[in-house]
Chains A and B, each alone.
Chain A
Amino acid sequence: MKRLSRWLIRLYPMAWRARYGEEFQALLEEMDDRPFDVTKAALAERARGWRVPLAAVLGGIALGLLYWAAMPPVHEAKVQMKLRNPADARQRAIQAFNRRTLAETIVARDLYLEERRQQPMEDVLERMRRDIRLEVSPQAATVGFLHESPFVAERVARNLADALGGGDATETVAGRRSAWIPASWGGLAGLVGSLFLSARGRRQLRVAGTALLLCILASLAYPSSYRSEAVIRGAAVDPEVLAAAVASEVGESSRLRRGIEIEQVARGILRIAYRDRDRFRAQRAVALMLTSMDGVEVIDQPSLPHRTVGPAAFGHTVVRRLTGLHLP
């Protein structure tokens, strides 16, 4: 077995071997075999230079590219449109990509079958929103959609472009998604790994890891809250009227006013949201706010949130990912 440690001396940089190789070998001959210790020390010695970090980064990039090549390809289809009225493109996109339209597209195109079996529709819709790309320039807009099949990606992108309307589709392009994301993650993992090997990096990583753990624990200790939201088009909203409407559901309190959120997402389009520890009460509160308003068009009905928001969401996501436990 001592042969293994002696063979592992080759892992040390050549300059180190020239200086310490002979006496190190003499020491190994006198001791029990410690291959793990020798490997760790040799890699740490190498990581002090630039070759190992560089090789680790390149190796990580190569692994990232291999992962990209091995995974089912993701295609991005883009429909370019000349806009007649570019000013209100984003406004129309919010209207066009409302939950009902997206849910209809999901069902009609048989999208996200696996996710639909395991997750509530709200989460599937969020996933679809992440797969939609919208770029607006002064004269044109590009609507894109990501999918494993280039044909499905193209059809859905065209559907979305049709729903957006108000422009002439000029070109549809579908291509495999670029590999730079897995490659850069691989490279980063290689860099972190090589830093961990070197004594300096290990201390920094320990500090960073502890800070991250404290953040997770602090976020888990933070009270959970759910955010229900609706999108409307209409006149300006009076927060006092909304607060009065919600008060009938949750009672008058300082938390009530903090829970109400009004955000202008495009010209004439508002997102009205309410945060509460009870997700059903959050939804009811938003519904009450909508009924208290006159002359508004509801683009998206109040959502029933399934996941927490705010600091607690961070801790819940980490624990959910690591353990597979279902947390709110």
Chain B
Amino acid sequence: MSDPTFLVLASLAGEDRHGYAMIEDIARFSSIRLGPGTLYGAIARLEERGWIRPLPGDDRRRPYTLTAAGREEFERRLAGLQAVVRTGARRLKRV
């Protein structure tokens, strides 16, 4: 859940964003404020795997977007997480 690559995928699932916008968005929905080094470490790994790609930017800031493979990967991870959430919620109700 706190894996920076997962958080970046989640942020880009909503819309294309550049680095600073990603940090703000992630802080909003997860209360985790990624450092710039951590963010760009995740971006580099995701781009290397072909899960995100850069878009042409209008200034020095460059936005990123999810690729089809990245969307698939994010859905796969999300499904795993949902299974955990469902199971946890069911078990809590039983108690």
Contacts and interface: CB of A to CB of B under 8 A. Distances in A.
A27 B37 contact: no
Main secondary structure of the interface of B (DSSP, over half): helix
Interface stretch (A39-47, A131-139, A186-194, A214-222): A39-47
The 5 closest A-B pairs by CB, nearest first: A41-B37, A37-B35, A26-B60, A27-B19, A38-B37
B27 to A, nearest CB: 11
A24 interface: yes
Contacts of A34: 35-37
26 contacts: A19-B44, A20-B43, A20-B44, A23-B61, A23-B62, A25-B60, A26-B59, A26-B60, A27-B18, A27-B20, A27-B23, A27-B36, A27-B39, A27-B40, A31-B36, A34-B35, A34-B37, A37-B35, A38-B36, A38-B37, A39-B37, A41-B36, A41-B37, A41-B40, A41-B41, A42-B37
Contacts of B20: 27, 30-31
B69 to A, nearest CB: 20
Interface in B9-50: 18-20, 23, 35-41, 43-44
B68 to A, nearest CB: 22
Interface in A28-62: 28, 30-31, 34, 36-42, 44-45
A38 B36 CA distance: 7
Given A16-B44, A41-B41, A23 B60 contact: yes
Q: Which of A25, A26, A40, A42 has the most CB of B within 10 A?
A: A26
A25 B40 CA distance: 11
Interface string A99-124: 00000000000000000000000000
Interface of B: 18-20, 23, 35-41, 43-44, 57, 59-62
Nearest to A40: B37
A108 to B, nearest CB: 63
Nearest to A33: B36
B80 to A, nearest CB: 18
A5 interface: yes
B21 to A, nearest CB: 10
Interface of A: 5, 16, 19-20, 22-28, 30-31, 34, 36-42, 44-45
A41 B38 contact: yes
Contacts of A26: 19, 59-61
Contacts of B59: 26
A12 to B, nearest CB: 9
Contacts of B39: 27
Contact of A24 (B23, B40, B57): B40
A45 B36 CA distance: 13
B58 to A, nearest CB: 12
A57 B43 CA distance: 29
A145 to B, nearest CB: 53
B40 A20 contact: yes
Nearest to B41: A41
Q: Which of B23, B41, B44, B61 has the most CB of A within 10 A?
A: B41
Contacts of A22: 60
Given A26-B60, A30-B20, A31-B20, A45 B35 contact: no
Nearest to B34: A37
A24 B62 CA distance: 9
A66 B25 CA distance: 49
B38 to A, nearest CB: 6
Contacts of B35: 34, 36-38, 41
